[in-house]
Amino acid sequence: MSSQDENYADPGNINNQNSEGTPPNSSGNPDIIFELNYSGKAFRLTWIITWVVTMLLLTAAVYLTFIGKQCAGHVDIAWISTAVSIALLWLFFGVVYFYKTMTIKYRLTTHSIDTREGFFTARWDTMELINIEDLAVEVTLWDRIFNGGVGTITLFSKTDKTDPNGIKLKGIENPDENFNTLKKTRDKIRTKRALIS
């Protein structure tokens, strides 16, 4: 986690977007509490599945090679098809891995939670902490076993009821710790607003 020298506003709505791919900014400058990227650990199970599929394709090609000794032309077709399939499989996985780990970012400040996504056009979505009605953390069994405990934090807004499933922050390392930090920060600003009012 690292901080950068950027200015952040105390946003007044759920979705604020800046065409330059940076969070909306004005005179406010909330402190950054944490800054996270989509964790590469979330792909560990996918790595395993991709390797297994690759091995199965190679095994099938070897098997067809022996069968192809009696069928002229089958050997070349089998290996060409296998090579193309493996190349496309790893290319697809590599693109998805690169896109998520390099472009999806989460930033918690003393006033808001900011989420960034996008490669050619970076989009920042911002939710004021005061507007978070409830939040939950989820770590599946597969995540605990294969993905190093990476989890998902879900935010439910009290001002935006259009999405009953909430806003999901996926691929979060140390989800329980970051969930508690987010919850404490939300509670702190609620208490502060209540005292002011």
Query: Over the chain, what HEC string results?
Result: CCCCCCCCCCCCCCCCCCCCCCCCCCCCCCCEEEEEECCHHHHHHHHHHHHHHHHHHHHHHHHHHHHHCCCCCHHHHHHHHHHHHHHHHHHHHHHHHHHHHHHCEEEEECCEEEEEECCCCCEEEEEEHHHEEEEEEECCHHHHHHCCCCEEEEEEECCCCCCCCCEEEEEECCHHHHHHHHHHHHHHHHHHHHHHC
Calculate the average pLDDT of the chain.
81
pLDDT in tens, 104-142: 999 999 899 999 998 888 888 888 998 898 999 999 999
pLDDT in tens, 146-174: 999 999 999 998 776 667 788 899 999 99
- For the chain, the domains span 32-38+107-196, 44-98
Quick one: pLDDT at residue 73? 56
